[in-house]
């Protein structure tokens, strides 16, 4: 078994076949072949039965899933692909939304032995319906055979603050008379209109006719609350004529932590060590220990014990994140 490079060691390949490490050894979900290698049980991942597997077989390279990812899976059906996502994100969570009662019954059976899978009977076009159980996630994966597939993906990404999304566009579900390529291009345009970056478009033939997987990234920002003793660092933004926490856009492929550290160094000249991160909806916040000042920085910087009067952004938000950062840095 050789780890597939693009999967960060989560998917394996042998003789052209793909595998995931079984989270429930000895248990088949859809009759897949189980293989023991070096004392580890692997489940064969059939691309003819799973669009996510077909995406990898067709050369997909923008694979956002990690060991600890939280995933919202729309259109989980009986759990074929979502069970492999459960293998991959073994220390994360997979919220599985399915609309059809019959498929949902099968999905519940699949999740009984997988404690990181949460079955939800719900309508993917109404993200608020399952807000009582779904928390903020890292990834939204959508496989819903109906109109407005791109909008359904983005609606759920926005509601649950996901940075990454994947949608399997079924051209015939959007418009049975249209050329599939036109449908894919229209979906890409819509995703961009909704403020997301398209990372990749991969057609799924020969495994799925008139299907394409689109991988997207929601443009987000991150800032750091850098603490030294009981004081916190702020920078003065001359364009907004106010004090703010150092931060900015997360670059493609960059982690939240790395973005916060880079932005702080660029704006203030200080190095920081990230000790915790928090999703506050529209952006991510990192609680940091303030390190050494190694350069001048782009902005004037200062340590404060209390918030100054002339702030760039909301006072209540800053009060909340400063209190949180203090507990993280000095538990």
- 241 phi and psi, to 5 degrees? 55, 50
Q: Do residues 139 and 82 make contact, with C-beta atoms less than 8 angstroms apart?
A: no
- 211 phi and psi, to 5 degrees? -125, 150
Percent of the chain past pLDDT 90, that is, above it, reads 92
Architecture of the domain defined by 221-329: Alpha-Beta Complex (3.90)
Alpha helices in 94-243 (DSSP H): 101-111, 149-159, 171-174, 180-193
pLDDT digits (tens, 9 = 90+) for 161-174: 898 999 999 999 99
Q: Which residues of 28-54 are buried (b: 16+ CB within 10 A; e: fewer)?
A: ebbebeebeeeeebbbbbbbebbbbbb
* CB contact set of 291 (below 8 Å; sequence gap of 6+): 270, 271, 272, 273
Same fold, 48-218 and 221-329: no
Q: Do residues 297 and 226 make contact, with C-beta atoms less than 8 angstroms apart?
A: no
Taking all residues of the chain, what is their mean pLDDT, rounded to a whole number?
A: 95
Q: From the centroid of its chain, how far is CA 258?
A: 16
Identify the band that residue 313 occupies on the pLDDT scale cut at 50, 70 and 90. Answer: confident
Q: Which class would CATH give 48-218? A: alpha beta
Q: Where are the chain's structural domains?
A: 48-218, 221-329
Distances (CA, A) of 104 to 122, 146, 201, 322: 10, 18, 29, 43
- The yes-or-no verdict on residue 64 having pLDDT over 90 is yes
The pLDDT, as a whole number, for residue 195 is 87
The pLDDT, as a whole number, for residue 161 is 87
The pLDDT, as a whole number, for residue 185 is 97
The pLDDT, as a whole number, for residue 35 is 96
The pLDDT, as a whole number, for residue 314 is 85
For residue 230, what is the enclosing H or E element?
none
Least reliable range by pLDDT among 94-98, 99-103, 165-169, 327-331: 327-331
**Cα distance between residue 21 and residue 19, in whole Å:** 7
Distances (CA, A) of 285 to 4, 46, 126, 165: 32, 39, 28, 21
- The yes-or-no verdict on residue 71 having pLDDT over 80 is yes
**Cα distance between residue 113 and residue 274, in whole Å:** 36
The pLDDT, as a whole number, for residue 253 is 78
CB-based burial label for 156 (10 Å; 0-12, 13-18, 19+): buried
- The yes-or-no verdict on residue 329 having pLDDT over 90 is yes
């Amino acid at each position: 078994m050789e780890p597939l490079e693009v999967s960060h060691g989560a998917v394996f390949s042998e003789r052209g076949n793909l595998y995931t490490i079984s989270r429930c050894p000895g248990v088949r979900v859809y009759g897949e072949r189980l293989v023991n290698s070096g004392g580890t049980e692997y489940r064969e991942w059939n691309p003819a039965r799973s669009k996510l597997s077909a995406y990898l077989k067709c050369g997909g390279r923008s694979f956002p899933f990690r060991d600890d990812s939280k995933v919202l899976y729309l259109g989980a059906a009986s759990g074929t692909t979502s069970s492999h996502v459960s293998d991959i994100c073994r220390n994360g969570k997979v919220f599985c939304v399915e609309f059809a009662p019959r498929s949902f019954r099968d999905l519940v059976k699949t999740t009984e032995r997988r404690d990181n899978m949460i079955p939800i009977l719900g309508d993917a076009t109404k993200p608020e319906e399952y807000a009582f159980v779904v928390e903020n996630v890292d990834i939204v994966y959508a496989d819903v055979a109906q109109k407005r597939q791109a909008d359904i993906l983005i609606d759920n990404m926005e509601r649950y603050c996901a940075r990454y999304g994947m949608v399997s566009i079924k051209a015939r579900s959007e418009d049975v008379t249209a050329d599939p390529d036109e449908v894919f291009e229209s979906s890409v345009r819509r995703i961009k209109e909704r403020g997301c970056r398209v990372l990749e478009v991969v057609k799924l033939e020969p495994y799925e006719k008139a299907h394409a997987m689109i991988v997207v990234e929601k443009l987000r920002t991150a800032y750091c609350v850098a603490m030294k003793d009981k004081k916190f660092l702020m920078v003065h933004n001359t364009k907004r004529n106010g004090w703010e926490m150092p931060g900015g856009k997360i670059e493609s492929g960059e982690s939240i932590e790395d973005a916060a550290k880079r932005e702080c160094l660029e704006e203030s000249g200080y190095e920081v060590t990230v000790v915790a991160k928090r999703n506050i909806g529209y952006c991510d916040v990192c609680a940091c220990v303030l390190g050494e000042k190694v350069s001048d920085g782009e902005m004037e910087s200062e340590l404060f014990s209390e918030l100054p009067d002339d702030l760039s952004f909301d006072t209540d938000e800053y009060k909340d994140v400063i209190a949180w950062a203090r507990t993280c840095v000095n538990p």
